[in-house]
Amino acid sequence: MRFKVGDRVVGCTGQVLEPWGTYAELVSARADRLTHIPAGVTFEQAAALPLAGMTAWQALAPSMPLSGKRVLILGGAGGVGHFAVQIAKSQGAYVAATCSSRNTEFVTQVLGADKAIDYTKENLQEAAGQPYDLVVDLVGEEPSSWGVLRRDGRMAAVSFDNTMKGRTGMWLAVLILTRVIRLKVMSALGLLPKYDNVMQSMGPDQGLKQLAQMVAEGRVKVHVDRVMSLEQLPDAHEYVEQGRTRGKVVIKVDSP
């Protein structure tokens, strides 16, 4: 058995259609979706790792190894982005990342990106420099970023373009499916570089163990922007939706 009573573990409880929930004092999770929390890592830091870290890993993984490649992260200061920057740098990539003015030093000096592009002041096409082997879109700016991607490069879209904001339910699902199919077909026909829509998977061997090891070795650091209580949940969601976070926002639930 991998785990015993009293072990500190972290992982994902499940996906949308599965019965496990969250924001609770006690939750049930499958053992193959858990891993041990590295020594010296707090529960708050550990809680910030799985979903965002695994999403970053799965966006980057098809392009690995990244050594010597040019990687552009759109939204490099946020929850997923700050992991993507560190993972790519740890593998020897040249990493540029877009962020707001207040986060440029955080992205370069703390996360280690080679270049920060201030999207509030700079034009992406002009500031990007040489074309990139991989663009990871975390903010829905994919339409404007094809021009900075090499013809044989890859676009990994975690977010969807801003025209879909405010859409909900079945209409949103139809729009997403239509867009993904259209871009996949255009990519297959050679009209666009390779396109991947990153639908985060929580199954075994999807990056959680590798991430925990990288954290244990100090190659990736978990940055927690704020720790908020369950009673502050509406405020936490509103803050995250503003798109100005520096790392992850964590909800701390009291023990039963």
pTM over 0.75: yes
Q: Residues of CATH 3.90.180.10 domain(s) within the chain?
A: 9-50+202-250
Neighbours of 206 (CB within 10 A): 19
Q: Which of helix, strand or coil describes residue 70?
A: strand
State residue 168's pLDDT score: 56
Residues of the chain with CATH 3.40.50.720: 62-197
Beta strands in 62-103 (DSSP E): 70-74, 94-99
Please, what is the angle between helix 208-216 and helix 50-60, to 10°? Answer: 110
Measured between alpha carbons, how far is 240 from 242 in angstroms, rounded to an integer? 5
**pLDDT string in tens for the chain (256-residue length):** 589 999 999 988 766 566 666 788 888 888 888 999 999 999 999 999 998 999 999 999 999 999 999 999 999 999 999 999 999 999 999 999 999 999 999 999 999 999 999 999 999 989 999 999 999 999 876 677 888 999 999 999 886 655 555 555 566 666 666 666 666 676 676 667 777 777 655 555 568 889 999 999 999 999 999 999 999 999 999 999 888 889 999 999 887 6
Tell me the fold of 9-50+202-250: Quinone Oxidoreductase; Chain A, domain 1 (3.90.180)
The token duo for 177 is: 């499916």
**Sign of the alpha-carbon torsion through 235, 239, 241, 242:** positive
Cα–Cα distance, 183 to 157 (Å, whole number): 11
For residue 220, the number of C-alpha atoms closer than 13 Å in the C-beta half-sphere is: 35
CATH topology of domain 62-197: Rossmann fold (3.40.50)
Rounded Cα–Cα distance for residues 198 and 196 (Å):
6
